[in-house]
């Protein structure tokens, strides 16, 4: 069967596709909301393709695909296959990097640095992050807007008049010996709050500065502020993802496949533990309640809590899950199931499951959904 015939048979459903060369090596893996539309794009004459994309398409001899129930399934399957198969062009075109962290050492007057690994040394870490450029930009922003140490010497060198940064007014001047640890710690706490996403007013102020610079025709300064903003958005977004995952919350997410079928996902922290298609019109309320309750109990009471720690190896999956839930919050119902309800008796979990089923079965397609993740 030639490629054109294969393209005609592709379904308009979500899934994962694998491009193969003449030796049947899988050279690229991708996901699609609609397989027919996405895969067909590769074989249409398009101008201005990136050279690496054009090279990859030239080497395609055939393709395989896997149909999935939902786009989230396709995302997760794509992530798994890329890690397992390591296709040549995924690495070239997606530019995978090692993860990095922002580190605040456990010292009296710490310097904020970028490291490639997180150690058990009492330091404060943010991350992991995927963009070295964005993280470097944030470090530069912190040095420009907070009077923290910027000296290049590894240790604290005492200077009677202070360093150049102190003389310029951009550093408290801990090298003068006149700055208390508490005074310096106040600045570190402000930075901690910012990077954790608790001081978004600071980010809004940066946008105002950018607008003012544009009004004053200072485009170079406006461009710098924009880079700072993009860096902060990357770091804060990833840090909030890490925090959500580290809470190890039990989340049940429901995505409607049509008016009858739903896909149910059970998530703990950054791990997808269970997924199942259910027909909500085929079963009555009591049967659905018993079935879903048993799945919840079996899944969450047997999972090893230790597997839910976020590492650089599974942050991709965590990002897929939480980004998907957030981006589709108008079309996916998500419920937080408190661990206390799982541990304190059947009546509490019965009440939770009953509310979930009522929300699902009373769903009106014109109303959209509300997200109940707390």
Strand partners, 67: 15
Residue 244 has pLDDT above 80, yes or no: no
- Least confidently predicted of 81-90, 162-171, 256-265, 318-327: 162-171
Domain containing 32 equals 3-94
**Which helix (H) or strand (E) element contains residue 252?**
strand 250-256
Domain-ending residue, one of 94, 119, 142: 94
Higher-pLDDT residue of 262, 349:
262
pLDDT given at position 293? 86
Q: Contact at 8 Å (CB) between 86 and 56?
A: no
Domain contains 57: yes
**The pair of three-digit structure tokens given for residue 196, joined into one six-digit string:** 């954790």
d(CA 192, CA 90): 35
Domain-ending residue, one of 180, 202, 237: 237
Q: What is the pLDDT of residues 149-161, one digit of tens each?
A: 887 665 566 666 7
pLDDT given at position 308? 46
Q: Distances from the Cα of 309 to the Cαs of 75, 78, 79, 103, 250, in angstroms? A: 21, 22, 18, 19, 14
d(CA 112, CA 167): 20
Number of residues in the chain: 374
- The structural domain count of the chain equals 3
d(CA 164, CA 114): 23
Indicate yes or no: pTM above 0.75. no
Residues 299 and 230 in one domain: no
Residues 209 and 148 in one domain: yes
Residues 254 and 368 in one domain: yes
Strand partners, 334: 253, 371
Residue 370 has pLDDT above 50, yes or no: no
């Amino acid at each position: 069967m030639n490629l054109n015939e294969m393209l005609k048979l592709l379904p308009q459903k979500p899934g994962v596709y694998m491009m193969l060369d003449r030796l049947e090596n899988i050279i690229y893996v991708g996901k699609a909301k609609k397989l027919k539309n996405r895969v067909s794009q590769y074989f249409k004459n398009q101008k201005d393709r990136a050279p690496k994309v054009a090279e990859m398409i030239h080497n395609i001899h055939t393709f395989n695909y896997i149909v999935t129930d939902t786009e989230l399934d396709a995302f997760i399957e794509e992530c798994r296959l890329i890690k397992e198969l390591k296709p040549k062009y995924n690495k070239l075109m997606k530019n995978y990097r090692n993860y990095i962290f922002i580190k605040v050492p456990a010292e009296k007057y710490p310097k904020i640095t970028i490291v490639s690994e997180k150690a058990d040394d009492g330091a404060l870490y943010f991350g992991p992050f995927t963009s070295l450029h964005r993280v470097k930009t944030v470090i530069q922003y912190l040095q420009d807007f907070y009077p923290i140490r910027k000296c290049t010497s590894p240790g604290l060198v005492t200077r009677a008049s202070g360093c150049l940064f102190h003389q310029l007014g951009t550093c408290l001047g801990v090298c003068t010996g006149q700055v208390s640890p508490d005074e310096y710690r106040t600045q570190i706490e402000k930075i901690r709050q910012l990077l954790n996403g608790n001081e978004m007013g600071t980010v809004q102020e940066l946008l105002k500065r950018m607008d003012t610079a544009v009004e004053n025709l200072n485009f170079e300064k406006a461009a710098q502020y924009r880079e700072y903003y993009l860096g902060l958005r990357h770091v804060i977004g990833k840090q909030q993802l890490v925090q959500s995952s580290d809470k190890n919350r039990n989340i049940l997410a429901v995505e409607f496949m049509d008016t009858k079928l739903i896909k149910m996902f059970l998530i703990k922290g950054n791990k997808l533990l269970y997924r199942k298609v259910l027909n909500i019109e085929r079963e009555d309320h009591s049967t659905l309640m018993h079935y879903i309750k048993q799945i919840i109990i079996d899944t969450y009471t047997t999972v090893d809590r230790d597997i839910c720690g976020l590492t650089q190896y599974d942050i991709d999956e965590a990002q897929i899950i939480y980004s998907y839930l957030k981006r589709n919050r108008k079309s996916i119902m998500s419920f937080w199931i408190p661990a206390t309800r799982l541990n304190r008796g059947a009546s509490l979990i019965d009440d939770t499951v009953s509310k979930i089923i009522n929300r699902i079965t009373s769903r009106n397609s014109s109303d959209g959904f509300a997200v109940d993740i707390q």
